Structure 1
Amino acid sequence: MAEKTIRIGTRDSELALWQAHTVEKKLNDLGYKTEIIAVKSQGDIILDKPLYELGITGIFTKTLDIAMINGQVDIAVHSMKDVPTALPMGIVQAAVLERANTVDILVHKGNLDFLQGEGTVATGSLRRQAQWWNKYPNHTVVDLRGNVNTRMQKLQENNWNGAVFAAAGLERINLKPENYINLDWMIPAPAQGAMVVVAMAEDDFCRDAVGQLNDIETEVCTHIERQFLKTLEGGCTAPIGALAKYNEIEDTIDFKGVLFSIDGKQKIEVNKIVPIEEWKKLGYNSAQEIFANGGTELMKTIKESLKK
């Protein structure tokens, strides 16, 4: 094996570093030498604006993309749901690791009475906001930005009733508190709970190394969800949820996809169970069904309202 040291690029948040160290350990176990290089992304620096207002898809991944293209790092590790569906020229998906928990959770302050009446819940995600309003139309939803630690801190400092998080992120860095409930009715972000490693297309050494970490079932399911997102043209901006699951017994894929209006009043969903052989176009076909059921008009409305 060549003696090249694989330089792993990551954001410098606790969760991002945990993910990078996880990949590093797996590569070390295979006999590769590694080094972790942490960078700050614009998404971590600009915290006073909602993500969709920053108008950049991939705000958390852009800095690392540039570092890779400039040759400062060889590979980058991301939460897959943060990665734009179209990768920059010259950068490819090298591996998707086995998926963790896909569920969204509500972290609360010990009292859930507000769910029966009025309350304030925090999230920086249009998808979570729309689904929350769909279920609790008389609640207030406030914007919440920052890495996981910052958001937990802000929840404690403010008089909100709760905040919505991805279970996987909190579980990975042991931050999941006792006061939480699983929001099993909320459709997660496409690829939620999955970590992806990207590399330069022409870097065979790193692609071969990282390729050994790929989990095929997660790769297939996240491909379907991201294809659904890409076809609907979600980027990071529209309230789109998707979840594909492999059913081993039946050898089928169960898929749920949903598009909401920003205020949560409109909901267009698709539910499909198809044989595993049909996975390649499942995301695309499901998105076409959403379009046919009013999704075309709804996407137009969403795009116009986000421009304002």
Structure 2
Amino acid sequence: MKKTIRIGTRDSELALWQANTVKSKLENLGYTTQLVPVKSEGDLVLDKPLYEMGITGIFTKTLDVAMITGTVDIAVHSMKDVPTQLPNGIVQTAVLERASSEDILVTKSKVYFESPCTIATGSLRRQAQWLHRYPNHKVVDLRGNVNTRLQKLKDNDWQGAIFAKAGLQRINLLPADFIDLNWMLPAPAQGAMVVVALEEDEFCKEATSKLNDYNSEICTYMEREFLRTLEGGCTAPIGAFAEIIDDEIYFKGCLFSIDGKTKIDIEKKVLTSQYKGFGKECAKFILQNGGSELMISIKNEMK
């Protein structure tokens, strides 16, 4: 059977770049494709922090509905935005080779971190880790797509704003003035792109599975398993990063209080052949060492 694969995507510049990347890869394999951009609620409501909007998957829900109702066949997402529990009938079919997972601080001039600073981010994870390191700083909310957030940084009297390095690199917006935050643990699956399709759509599942990068799939699986076990959704201050070196996976995970004062972390390694269940094991360590109480506190604070 020959059919056109309709690719659902958010209509921001970064989301379109990701969807076009998948489009090109599929067309290079001989498939016919069509882009179908849609706006998500997360793109439309810019005056509330994400955690106040009441749901996880705020950037993916619209595309899930479009897929289930037959408007699109597949969707392309930044994997860190995707809830760990996919809707019934939708399955992950490919994780593309991962780009940089690092966070960076974009600045307008030299920053003196020992002085009081105002730093912008819409992420509780980034906020908590920043305040843990710099408790005398102020963190303000920053929402919108990459272009909007860069403009807000220019327009406001902030010392810097935190971005995912991969997002800026992908659309050629990485500025000269930035600082690598190699001490900050990224969001689970940050820097990775994921393709999802309907479980019953064998044609699209087979086509998109050819784009899968096995190492990226394993590492993001472990990080998302860690996240799912902590029951953090997409908004709690949870960081995780897994990296394959030779035949081992090195894993780091953390959970913070929203104010950054409390930190619980873990660093372990496992054979690549034993990756399944390891993220869950690491999350259980966090929960048994104060994480359960901290998660209850975080959820109460976010109500």
Measured against the shorter chain, the TM-score band is over 0.9
Structure 2: unaligned runs, 5 residues or longer: none
The count of aligned residue pairs is 303
- The CA RMSD measured in Å over matched residues stands at 0.5
Alpha-carbon distance, 1:122 to partner = 0.1
Aligned to 1:289: 285
TM-score by length of 2: 0.99
- The Cα of 1:155 is off from its aligned counterpart by 0.3
1:45-124 map, 5 Å = 45-113=44-112, 115-124=113-122
Q: Distance in 2 between matches of 1:137 and 1:222?
A: 30
Q: Which residue of 2 aligns with 1:257?
A: 253
Look up the match of 2:36: 37
Q: Which moved more, 1:230-239 or 1:126-135?
A: 230-239
Question: How far has the Cα of 1:110 moved from its partner?
Answer: 1.7
Which residue does 1:238 correspond to in 2?
236
Distance 1:175 1:276 in 2: 35
Q: Counterpart of 2:195?
A: 197
2:219 maps to 1:221: yes
Residue type of the partner of 2:6?
R
Structure 2 residue matching 1:133: 3-state secondary structure:
helix
> Aligned-pair distance for 1:162?
0.3
Question: Counterparts of 2:260 and 2:127 in 1: how far apart (Å)?
Answer: 8
Q: Counterparts of 2:272 and 2:199 in 1: how far apart (Å)?
A: 28
1:250-281 CA-partner distances (Å, limit 9, x unpaired): x1000000000000000000100111122001
Letter in 1 for 2:240: A
1:298 aligned residue (248, 269, 294): 294
Q: Which residue of 1 aligns with 2:159?
A: 161
1:201 and 1:133 map into 2 onto residues whose CA distance is 42
| Shift, 1:292, TM fit | 1.0
Listed one character per residue, the Cα deviations across residues 88-141 of structure 1 (whole Å, up to 9, x for unaligned) are 00000010000000000000012112x121000000000000000000001000
Report deviation, 1:229.
Answer: 0.2
Q: Which runs of 5+ in 1 are unaligned?
A: none
The aligned amino acid for 1:74 is D
Distance in 2 between residues matched to 1:8 and 1:274, nearest whole Å: 36
Distance 1:17 1:259 in 2: 32
Q: TM-score w.r.t. structure 1 length? A: 0.98
Matched residue SS, 1:34: strand
Q: Tell me what 1:17 maps to.
A: 16
Distance across 1 between alignment mates of 2:31 and 2:141:
42
Shift of 1:3: 2.1
Q: Aligned partners of 1:286, 1:82: CA distance in 2, in Å?
A: 22
1:105 is paired with a residue of what secondary structure? strand
* Aligned residue number for residue 269 of structure 1: 265
Give 1:85's aligned amino acid: T
Letter in 2 for 1:194: A
Q: Which amino acid counterpart does residue 231 of structure 2 have in structure 1?
A: E
Alpha-carbon distance, 1:236 to partner: 1.6
**What is the CA distance between 1:305 and its match in structure 2?**
0.7
SS at structure 1 position matched to 2:275? helix
**Percent pairwise identity:** 66
Distance 2:133 2:141 in 1: 18
- Counterpart AA for 1:282: F
Q: Distance in 1 between matches of 2:84 and 2:257?
A: 21
One-letter code of the match for 1:134? H
Q: Which residue of 1 aligns with 2:181?
A: 183
